[in-house]
Chains A and B, each alone.
Chain A
Amino acid sequence: MLVRHSKYLTVATIFILVAVVYPRVVYGQQETMDTLLGKAEYINSLQLGYLEVPTGHNRGAISKIEVKDVVTTFDEALKGNAAGVSVIQSSGQPSGTHMIQVRGIHTMAGGNEPLYVVDGFPIYNNNDLASSGFSFGPTLNALTFLNPGDIESMYVLKDVGEASLYGGRATNGVVIINTKEGSSSDRITLSSAIGVQQPIGRFDLASASQYGAFMNTARTNAGLSPLYNSPGALGEGTDWQDQIYRDQPLSQDYRVSFNGGGEAVHFMLSGSYSGRQGLIKGSDFDRYVLHANVRACVNERTELVNSLNFARVDAHTVPTDVSGDLGTGGVISSALSFSPLIRNRNELGRLIPFHFQVDDQGGATSRLQSDLPIPNPLGLAQNTDSRYSTSRITDFLSLKYRLAKNLNLSASTGLDAIFNEETTFLPGALQYNVNLGGVGTAGKIQSYNWISQLLVDYSKKISDVHILDVFAGMSTEGVSREFLGGTSTGFESEALRFYSLAVGKNRNVVSDNAKWNMNSFFGRVNLTMYEKYSLAFTGRSDASSRFGGNYEFFPAGSFTWFASKESFIKNSELISDLTLRMGYGISGNMEIPPYTAFTVLNELTAPLHGVAVSGITLDKIGNPSQEMERTRQLHFGVDVGFLDARLGVSLDMYSNQTQNALVNTSLPGTSGFQTALVNGGGIKNAGVEMTLTSRNIEGVFGWTTQLAFGYNQNEITDLPLGATVVYGPAIMGIDNWSIFSIGESIGSFYGLTSDGLAIAGDQSPSFAGQTLRVGEQKYKDLNDDGIINAADKTIIGTSMPDVNIGLYNSFSYGALRLSFLFQGLLGRDVANLNKLIYNDPTGQVNVSSSFSSASDPNLPAPNAENDRKVFSDVLVEDGSFVRLQNISLAYDFSNHLFKNSPLEKFEVFVSGQNLLTFSGYDGPDPDVSHFGQQVIGQGVDFDSYPKSKSVLVGLNVHF
């Protein structure tokens, strides 16, 4: 699997190079560096949610993340910075969501996102809490509420060592986020950045003359007369991609913060604005964030800590999603499909609303096809009006009280309130069915996420060589979500759009309400002996209303040996640090929507003698015995520091076995239902990780390197009887393209295998009732029954990456700093469903220029009648990539230009994002996932909003 991905080898080569170059470096003068991992991590204690883990304590695999780059949301900063953490972007729209996989995927029906703990407040990233789903396009990222500039440190807890303190929510990893705090000395920070963007890639589409010639061939091959006498004379035509993209969309970021306070009170206040013009016309994103951290020593026993964040996001979105919003088409698929022979506007200056086949005189050849109306891409981008706005207030207040020497009590309470509002309007002119007219919608969500917790910690030196740390806590928390939405059609006047849905004749209102809460008890005992051995037991008991309120216990034990403290290493010149870690425990995952255990009734309506009659009956079968998914985790790790920690290497191995994964299972028809969510699946994730940090050269000229490498193998080990194995929502008439199969990875693509093109008189097996046309794509008849059908499908790829990799280098010379970060995902496949459009042999829609020029002998012959859409390995491509995620050049002028000013820092930087991508992928960008965070359907590229390539200039001032 690995070997065929050549990019992995490239990166491996880079790594070897680094390793070889290293010993030749002349050791310069040492100076403290406020960088990266390395030594700093071993010296300071880590603030990990409940725990402050001091040096010399037991700990598991933790990746420390620094926000090194201008990013919109902090989860973007996880890209390439943490071994074993894969970040896949679902869409490139400003503030699009990411799918984050910490050590693989551990669930088949639940959520797989890590738990975020922001200043102690546990928050699961459920976008449904922040979006009513009434705006066009994919859901926006709910994590956008925090400005990454306000973050001091981020840690990813990857194994049971520490994560198990979060018990039933630990399986998917825990990301600890600590925001910046005040200090006793005042400091003002100003930062700003402004940049321009362009799409990371475009489709290379046929011009009008190429498309005309293609249509002629497609018709001739189908025995029809050609349409155009001289297609060469048709010229370039309209480039629809040019039409939808903005010329130079701007991005802007401004942040001002003030740190300060006296002896008793420290505070940090910041305000920031981020603005993004979208690449696609009609889309943009604005965010305002206010953040305030206060730490006050009330008296010698009492301390008060408060973290407050307010964020407001306003965005305009565009419909990019063909299968969802409109049922007809999105901006990208329309731009791909629309005929370049159609001019943008007609003689009257009106937009041409729908794609049609143009005849030699420029008119339409036939009635539009009603089953696939393709709306004008520019019309979709510009004339639809879709807005998303969310206000989010998050506050977490802790009171710490010292009861006695070594005994501390901490009580905290937090509230996270989200107010979301979304509206859309689709004008009647873009509605294929003229009778329907415009559609206006509005939806609102209010979500509350609250917590109260009480923690006690106690530390005692039992003897000269034994230190005991005990920590215990309990918490109660919950989420409630209220939704109200309405849709209106039949607008007599479209002037008011969604502002007055009452103008529409047909109105429809929906609402719902969901709540869950949880009580938990947790604790940890840590025994440190001789400063060399550290033994910890952690346990958490969670009772969630989502699982019947039963307490589930998640224990874990871990052991750390600080071998470098042993006398035989202690004085080694070479090895400055050697730590061995191991742990075993059970973690849980409870991320399913509430109420899935319930038997649910629903209203059904059908006509009876011409009158609509509604009744209520069983709609969903209940499963009261649903339980949290449990994962057994075993891990080993070693940290080695060489040469006084100038080179640090961490190696980790893990094997995680999920035992009772929830699976949608088929029920026999006699039950009256088709499926139910039951426990019984098994999933194994096993892998190795390596993090290498090195201060290669120190001194006036400095060079540091950080390499993060993670390899994960995912395997389904068990499926309950009747598990529904074939999934895949319909896109362009293709469905059931994903499969769960024992021994295979989650996210396996399932389809036909191609078998060359048909030649004249070809008698190879084909679909029932079909004879092969010359040049038509053939498929393998795997079961040898002479007919191609669903029984010939097999696994043709997997979307889960084997390897995630990140390579960061930073060079400094005096006040000048150059840094770059490469990141990549290797060993993954992407289903490029855009090919269904740009390699469509019928000529009904525009095609790629390579298809039109017949330069690829593997592509089928154009044929106006060959309209069969098939999910096969033709669509599944190697989606491995390595990308220059960021390169940045900065110069700090404070020492030169403003010698006698109070300026601590006056840094000017220029940076580039996504400037280079190395990939063999045929589409514009392999880093996509059409279905966002859904476990099923990851790695599908269809109609995706492209990511941007951007260049920024900025300024950071500290004084």
Chain B
Amino acid sequence: MKLKVLFIFCTAFMSSCSLDEDPLSLITPDEFFHEDRDAQSSIDAIYTYINGGASIYARYFWLVNAMASDLGRYRGTDPDLAEFASMSVTPQNSILLEIWQGLYAGINAANFAIENIPSVPISDMEKDVFIAEARFLRAIFYFDLMRLFGGVPLLEQANTVVGSQYLAERKSLEETAQFVELEFTHAFENLPESNSPGRPVGLTAAAYLSRFYLTRGEFNKAFQASRAVIQSGRWSLASDYAMIFSGQPQNKSEELFSISIDLNGANPVNAFTLPLGVDGLGHILPTSFYVDGFEFLDRRRQVSFFTSYISDEGVELEVEPHVGKYWQSDLQPIGSPSAIDIPIFRFSDLLLLHCEAINELRNGTNAEALQAINMVRARARFNGVSNEEVLPDLTRMGKEEFKDAILQERSKELGWEGHRWFDLVRTGRLKETVEKAKPDVVVEDKYNVFPIPQREFTLNPNLGSQNPGY
């Protein structure tokens, strides 16, 4: 009898406590992808790996491209930055590590959306559009990994728990490229014809395909893609080059894709490029080679550099040329952080890519190419009020001459926007250009890619081999 009471007591007592964990104030995967809006939400999260001042795109793409090229020089003491400026990059470089980690974190977010959107209760058509958007963004991440590091591990499943699934092997450059092509093509075919501002449409993916095919040396495909974008008439050049960097969202007629920066300002460029007196570090300056390459009255020179500024005591101070592309000194006397977006893909970029494709196909200019490049030059003559007598229209040229002209135009048009190292590698002009701009720097052949971060080899035994030379 007593034992029976005891037994009942014990049973009642122990069954009262469940050991299931329910984290009420944390969102777990079980609680997501149940409602319509979760699909949109999972897509929007991927953008945070591109947009905002803390993203690796805002922090590093302009920086690496400016430092590891003829555009910029470095006079600070940060060893990671110095490695790019002096072309002595090591696998220990922490900037490359952050880029690698940031891009794969974006890929994981995209994979998570792609994998789970099919279970959200929305129409199949809506699902297709969302998935196309995620695949487009994932394609950008893989494309940039490919351009920076060569062939990389291709992860198409989201990692949610620790395990071995992410200890993946490096794919060859060809396999990686095939994947990127497939993804951009899918996005081109499935993204909508129109979308809300800042988001891609089918033609945005076409523009990327043009950039991708040029990188791969598939010039006809590149030409077809860029031509489709131009002929759509969807984008046009802003009338004044300065408008692009005015921070006004309405001046975005030529924006295909951008790193959006919040209005409070979080663009980190000025922290490096502005002088100390206006809250920069003054560590990253343009090379004189780059500055001298501009004609004096080129509008892009005025926008890209400044040589004097008003100190906070109200005194005008003369300085050597500093990068001022993301600084509106009148609106924002203290320059850092800036609120100006950093473009990733502008229409002028696409026009020049179009020229590049034509040049390769035609071994020189044709009317279409000249028209495209002269549009870009003509716009740069406008000083805000009238046109200056500079930058005459280009005329018929041979292949090598035109190639140089396009590259030079790109460097002036797209400086500090994260293209230069990619451009020089793509066109095979890295070594000669950088060594001309920085006489004390020797560029080894290996710099067509950067080293994969050493940390990855330490933590992933399956990764494979390092890029040659590193």
Contacts and interface: CB of A to CB of B under 8 A. Distances in A.
A769 B82 CA distance: 9
Interface stretch (A170-178, A669-677, A847-855, A903-911): A669-677
Contacts of A603: 27, 45
Contact of A617 (B19, B23, B45, B263): B45
B213 to A, nearest CB: 27
Contact of B42 (A403, A474, A617, A674): A617
Interface in B152-179: 153, 155, 158-162, 166-168
Contacts of A670: 104, 153, 155, 166-168, 456, 460
Contact of A601 (B28, B48, B261): B28
18 contacts: A409-B6, A452-B16, A454-B9, A511-B25, A513-B24, A517-B18, A518-B19, A545-B19, A545-B20, A546-B21, A601-B26, A608-B47, A608-B197, A609-B196, A617-B113, A667-B162, A667-B459, A673-B105
Contacts of A769: 76-77, 82
B47 A669 contact: no
Contacts of B161: 599, 621-624
Contacts of A543: 19
A668 B19 contact: no
B52 A607 contact: yes
Interface string A759-787: 00000000111100000000000000000
A549 B109 CA distance: 30
Interface string A83-121: 000000000000000000000000000000000000000
Given A621-B159, A769-B82, A671 B77 contact: no
Contact of B97 (A605, A621, A669, A768): A669
A623 B456 contact: no
Contact of A367 (B10, B76, B312): B312
A676 B260 contact: no
A752 to B, nearest CB: 15
Nearest to A407: B2
A669 B453 contact: yes
B26 A600 contact: yes
A768 B46 CA distance: 37
A606 B453 contact: no
B41 to A, nearest CB: 5
B217 interface: no
Interface in B427-470: 453, 455-456, 458-460, 463
Contacts of B104: 669-672
Interface size class of A (residues with CB under 8 A): 35 or more
B279 interface: yes
A476 B15 CA distance: 9
A615 B21 contact: no
Contacts of B47: 606, 608, 613, 615
A517 B17 contact: yes
Interface of B: 2, 6, 9-10, 13-14, 16-29, 31-32, 38, 40-48, 50-52, 55, 76-77, 79, 82, 97, 100-101, 104-105, 107-109, 112-113, 153, 155, 158-162, 166-168, 196-199, 249, 252, 258, 260-263, 279, 312, 453, 455-456, 458-460, 463
Contact of A600 (B14, B28, B198): B28
Specify the main secondary structure of chain A where it touches its partner. Answer: strand
Contacts, number: 216
A398 B262 CA distance: 61
A789 B82 CA distance: 13
A722 interface: yes
A607 B42 CA distance: 15
A478 interface: yes
A599 B113 contact: no
* Residue of A543, A548, A599, A601 most packed against chain B (CB within 10 A): A601
A924 interface: no
Contacts of B101: 669, 674
A605 B48 contact: yes
Contact of A671 (B32, B38, B159): B159
A612 B41 CA distance: 13
Interface string A164-207: 00000000000000000000000000000000000000000000
B112 A618 contact: yes
A668 B41 contact: no
A546 B20 CA distance: 9
Interface in A502-522: 511-519
B38 A616 contact: yes
B271 to A, nearest CB: 11
A601 B44 CA distance: 13
Nearest to A624: B161
A572 B79 CA distance: 75
B14 to A, nearest CB: 6
Interface in A355-411: 367, 370, 403-404, 409, 411
A608 B44 contact: yes
Contacts of A403: 2, 6
Nearest to A666: B459
A722 B249 CA distance: 45
A954 interface: no
A608 B24 contact: no
A614 B77 CA distance: 36
A418 interface: no
A617 B55 contact: no
Given A608-B44, A669-B100, A670-B166, A618 B460 contact: no
* Residue of A513, A599, A608 most packed against chain B (CB within 10 A): A608
Given A409-B6, A610-B263, A671-B166, A476 B459 contact: no
A536 interface: no
Contact of A615 (B48, B97, B107, B455): B48
Contacts of A616: 27, 32, 38, 41-42, 45
Contact of B19 (A549, A598, A722): A549
B102 to A, nearest CB: 8
A611 B260 CA distance: 9
A488 B411 CA distance: 47
Nearest to B160: A599
Contacts of A590: none
Contact of B13 (A476, A512, A613): A476
Nearest to B23: A595
The 8 nearest A-B residue pairs measured at CB = A672-B108, A615-B45, A615-B44, A609-B198, A549-B19, A617-B45, A606-B52, A512-B25
A678 interface: yes
Nearest to A610: B249
A916 to B, nearest CB: 47
A768 B29 contact: no
B10 A474 contact: yes
Interface string A537-573: 0000001111011000000000000000000000000
Interface string A403-442: 1100001010000000000000000000000000000000
Given A543-B19, A617-B48, A673-B108, 14 more contacts: A454-B9, A474-B14, A512-B25, A546-B21, A594-B21, A607-B263, A610-B260, A617-B46, A621-B159, A667-B166, A670-B168, A670-B456, A672-B105, A721-B459
Nearest to B19: A549
A604 interface: yes
A607 B54 CA distance: 11
A602 interface: yes
B19 A519 contact: yes
B166 A668 contact: yes
A516 B25 contact: no
A58 B279 CA distance: 71
Contacts of A673: 105, 108, 159
B246 to A, nearest CB: 12
* Residue of B38, B162, B458 most packed against chain A (CB within 10 A): B162
Contacts of B458: 722
A672 B41 contact: no
A513 B25 CA distance: 6
B44 A614 contact: yes
A761 B18 CA distance: 73
A548 B198 CA distance: 43
